[in-house]
Amino acid sequence: MKRPDARAFLFDIQQACRVIAQFTSGMTLPDYVEDLKTRSAVERQLEIIGEALSQMLDHFPEMEKQFPEAPRIISFRNRLIHGYASVSNQVVWGVLEGSLLILAAKVDEILAADTT
């Protein structure tokens, strides 16, 4: 079986970050809390990010150095999926305003630097 391309996982992360930004553009936390459709869509994209990162590191463990925050992201993905009843909208919003922007910038930088 052919080994997957790390760029495919990075692209999925990049796309999910962009989609989340589109979904939440112009929103405030109260807007987000009141919009079930957006919350559901954002949580799905966060799940994709966590799963893509998990699979990428399974295939390319050497990339873990570039993503020291990976265990927290993957754990958050697991919480969204398996602990959905205890997901805090405030915590998700905090991720969107802070950690997600950092992750998106890092992935953009890696993909831009990759000339293969």
Q: How far apart are CA 93 and CA 33, in angstroms?
A: 9
Residue matched to tokens 């009141």:
34
Domain range for 58: 6-22+30-111
pTM of the entire structure?
Answer: 0.93
The mean per-residue pLDDT over the stretch 63-83 comes to 94
The mean per-residue pLDDT over the stretch 25-31 comes to 97
Total count of domains within the chain? 1
116 in a structural domain: no
1 in a structural domain: no
Is the predicted pLDDT of residue 94 greater than 60, yes or no? yes
Q: How far apart are CA 49 and CA 61, in angstroms?
A: 17
34 in a structural domain: yes
